[in-house]
Amino acid sequence: MGACFLFRISEMSGRGKKVAAVKTKTTISRSTRAGLQFPVGRVARMLRKGNYAQRIGSGAAVYLTAVIEYLCAEVLELAGNASRDNKKRRIGPRHIQLAVRNDEELNTLLGGVTISEGGVLPNIHAQLLPKKTHRADSSKDVNSQEF
């Protein structure tokens, strides 16, 4: 973040000095204006160079950057929770896979995506589980002695 500087330009003339004060503008990025962390300028450049359309509006890059930042924050939050559940301090591809596949909306969004080194969700088919045997009530088996 730049600061506002005041420059004095002096010209040496015969009789005296002429002093002119020039204020420089501080440049504020579009990401800062929009309150985003992701680079709006870079997304705008990629939209223009990608030949997605002949003309790109000025708000298109800001909107797309906000959407990408939100999705990234959502995935990172869920992956961080998954890594904490596995008692790890570092997020890995497995944690991203677990985060995406356990969330219904992210799973539909990234349904056709394969995450490298992500593995699969732990799942055992219900038919493969051992059958539960129902014990008869112990009161029926016990014969009470009545006199």
Residue labelled with tokens 């002695």: 145
pLDDT attached to residue 103: 95
Residue labelled with tokens 């589980």: 129
Q: Which residues of the chain register pLDDT less than 70? A: 1-14, 16-20, 135-144, 147
d(CA 80, CA 53): 37
d(CA 58, CA 43): 11
pLDDT attached to residue 101: 96
Other beta carbons within 10 Å of 6: 8
Other beta carbons within 10 Å of 75: 19
Those residues whose C-beta lies under 8 Å from the C-beta of residue 11, and which sit 6 or more positions away, are 17, 18
> Which pair of tokens denotes residue 31?
């990401």
CA 39 to chain CA centroid, nearest Å: 14
d(CA 81, CA 75): 10
pLDDT attached to residue 129: 87
pLDDT attached to residue 105: 96
pLDDT attached to residue 69: 98
Dihedral sign of CA atoms 126, 127, 130, 133 in order: positive
d(CA 62, CA 30): 8
